[in-house]
Amino acid sequence: MKHFVALLMALMPMAATHAASTDTLQEGLRQANAGQWDQALSTLRQAAAADRGDAAAQTALGLAALQRQQYGEAQTALERALALDPQSETALFALGLLFEKQRQSGAARSAWQRLAAITRSSDLRDMAQRHLDRLE
């Protein structure tokens, strides 16, 4: 029992941190959805830093950074999101567009190939194939 209480005490700050980062993420998403991209980027940086293991926070930061043309930050966040959630179609879609913009054809092909392989959406699969046709 003593050990259980000690464990619980140890976990409580982590749970509080997770709840706080979730609130921050929700606020950042609200700002992004309202088109307040500068505020959203700042808020989502906090959310992503507070919980680096949260794929949603990393993805949201990546999309906000893309919107503000902070391409280096966007790539880092989206690749981290993909590492946390290898099935993230959002991250693959955004990375495909980003790598093409940066003329990184090999990396773009890889992103589109992965998206085409995992998506259940025929529209997304067609889109990915269209980009692969151009890049091959």
Partner 1 sequence: MKSLLLSLILAGTAACVATTRVATRAGTDFSRVQTILLLDSASASRAVTDAFARALLEKGYRVKVGNPDGAADLWMEAAVTQFTPDRKYLVPLKGNGSIVLYPAQEISGRSLYPSPTAASLPDAQVVISNAAVSLSVRLLEPRSGDLLWSGAVTYEGLDMDAAVEGSVASLLKRFPLKGAAP
**Residues 11-30, interacting with partner 1 (CB under 8 A):** 22, 26, 29-30
CB contact at 8 A, 77 and 97 = no
What DSSP string describes 23-76? HHHHHHHHHHHTT-HHHHHHHHHHHHHH-TT-HHHHHHHHHHHHHTT-HHHHHH
Which residues fall within 8 angstroms of residue 35, CB to CB, at 6 or more apart? none
Please tell me whether residue 89 binds partner 1 under the rule CB under 8 A. Answer: yes
Please tell me whether residue 77 binds partner 1 under the rule CB under 8 A. Answer: no
Which member of 47, 60, 77, 82 binds partner 1 (CB under 8 A)? 60
Which residues fall within 8 angstroms of residue 84, CB to CB, at 6 or more apart? 53, 54, 55, 58
Which member of 9, 10, 35, 106 binds partner 1 (CB under 8 A)? 35
Which member of 24, 48, 90, 111 binds partner 1 (CB under 8 A)? 90
Please tell me whether residue 34 binds partner 1 under the rule CB under 8 A. Answer: yes
Contacts to partner 1 by CB under 8 A: 22, 26, 29-30, 32-35, 54-56, 59-60, 63-64, 66-67, 85, 88-90, 93-94, 97-98, 100-101, 119-121, 124, 126-127, 129-131, 133-134
